[in-house]
Amino acid sequence: MSTNIKSTPREITTPFRPIPLDVPEGMKPNEFFNSTENLNDLEHNNGLLRNPENLLLYRKALGHSNLFDTSIIYNTSKTILNPLGRPVRRTQVSTEVKSVWNRMNEIIISYMLEKFPDPDDALILAGEASLDATWSLTSPGVPSIRMLHNHFIAFDKRELREAKISDPANPNLTDGGQHSLFQSYISDVYRDFFTFLDLKILKPINETEAKIEVTGYPQGLPSWEITGGVAALKDICFWREYDLILEGFIDFYRTFFTQVSTRNAPIPKESNFPDQIERKLLFNNDFLAAAKKVREQCIVDPKYANSIRWQPAFKQLIYRNDEGKLIVTISQNSIGNAITELLGVVVKRDPNAESYENSEPALIEHLLEVRRRLVDADLGEGIKTDYWGRE
């Protein structure tokens, strides 16, 4: 339904209860909150459910939304001590873990759609972001936790419509429009690369259909409608296609920056679709010309070169558009930006315990009901905290 409001990125303020943790001397707060040492707080103060596959459902202590906000993390901190050896994307986990992961996703997304059925009332999204430490290791705030996790968030659309307009030049909105590296140079090549995928459930849609009216995002990204809607999430074929999108993205990104790094480099090793890389990318003059532009700027601009993410880093999500259709999109992940900003929502967090506690009972009620459904489906056991019991 049209609202006749300006389509522009929005900045909302989300209160939270300050975390009562002492940050060790010499560490920045974001470095500590991303650290393995902080996982004990995440599990014991905010943990909702865990299972033998090491998947942990938890409340977001520093949340994006107090309407509905939870995450699942693949907690390998005690089984893989080398942070650089941990899985950071879906394609790196075992079939058994991925099966449980997909079923948890389906149940949580279905719950959000059930409880927030009107697309005019709530913006719903679920997705993951790569946590690769793919920028300079000397940069402040490089994630040390390096563990795959998903976000499940519902925003009040009335709040979004009334929210402060965010500066479109906000560096955290780098995935949209002219701010995107791919969008600036090779958006047509990027979209065309995905057309070879043999997809039955995911149907390509145009940018207008994909956009959320209140924010005007996402921008410049390939998007697909999930034909069959929420019922398709129960079909393993959907999740296989979801992985194909990610595999195609990784091939595109890796090939592009391999060419930036080394002129006329061969097809990257361990590519998922080497024939398509050769045909659609390495014989495409626009693609190689864009790599040349970036390579030449890297040579003369050390700050620019240091900002490049040389390895595949992504944000992939499922969200509901204004017509109530479920959409899949994927984008490169830039330093500092959150998964919500892919849809034009900038979150400013406010340490306000009193305000947070006004929303907390309803939020926890949702989270405990989601947990019950996961337990009933044999997807884990409840965790007791100071805020809720095991059951």
DSSP 105-130: HHHHHHHHHHHS--TTTEEEEEEEE-
Cβ neighbours for 257, distance < 8 A, ≥ 6 positions apart:
308, 309, 310, 311
Cβ neighbours for 70, distance < 8 A, ≥ 6 positions apart:
48, 57, 58, 59, 60, 108, 152, 367, 370
Q: Which residues is 156 bridged to in the sheet?
A: 122
Q: What's residue 183's pLDDT?
A: 64
Considering only CA atoms, which of 67, 39, 68, 65 is closest in space to residue 54?
Answer: 39
Q: What's residue 176's pLDDT?
A: 40
58 against 181, higher pLDDT:
58
Q: What's residue 140's pLDDT?
A: 56
Residue 324: pLDDT above 90?
Answer: yes
Please, which pLDDT band fits residue 39 given cuts at 50, 70 and 90?
A: confident
Strand stretches in 196-244, DSSP E: 202-205, 223-226
User: What is the rounded average pLDDT of the residues 365-389?
Assistant: 96
Region label for 264, one of left (φ > 0), alpha (ψ between -120 and 50) or beta (otherwise): left
Q: Return the amino acid letter for 350.
A: D
Round to whole Å and give the CA distance between 139 and 157: 36
Q: Which residues is 125 bridged to in the sheet?
A: 153, 319
Write the pLDDT tens digit of every residue in 239-262. 999 999 999 999 998 999 999 999
Question: CA 6 → CA 172, 176, 293, distances in Å?
Answer: 20, 17, 35
Among the residues of the chain, which ranges form H helices? 29-33, 39-46, 95-115, 157-162, 181-185, 187-193, 207-210, 236-261, 274-276, 285-300, 302-307, 353-376
- Alpha-carbon dihedral of residues 206, 211, 216, 219, nearest 10 degrees? -50
User: What is the rounded average pLDDT of the residues 281-286?
Assistant: 95
The answer to whether the CB of 276 falls within 8 A of the CB of 193 is yes
User: What is the rounded average pLDDT of the residues 305-332?
Assistant: 88
Please, which pLDDT band fits residue 314 given cuts at 50, 70 and 90?
A: confident
Question: Strand pairing of 223-226 and 326-332?
Answer: antiparallel
Residue 61: pLDDT above 80?
Answer: yes
Q: What's residue 177's pLDDT?
A: 40
DSSP H or E segment with residue 319: strand 314-320
Q: What's residue 390's pLDDT?
A: 86
When the pLDDT of each residue in the chain is averaged and rounded to a whole number, the result is 87
Write the pLDDT tens digit of every residue in 113-155. 999 999 999 999 999 987 665 555 555 555 556 788 899 999 9
The answer to whether the CB of 175 falls within 8 A of the CB of 65 is no
- The full set of domain ranges for the chain reads 10-382
CB atoms within 10 A of CB 25: 5
pTM: 0.92
70 against 91, higher pLDDT:
70
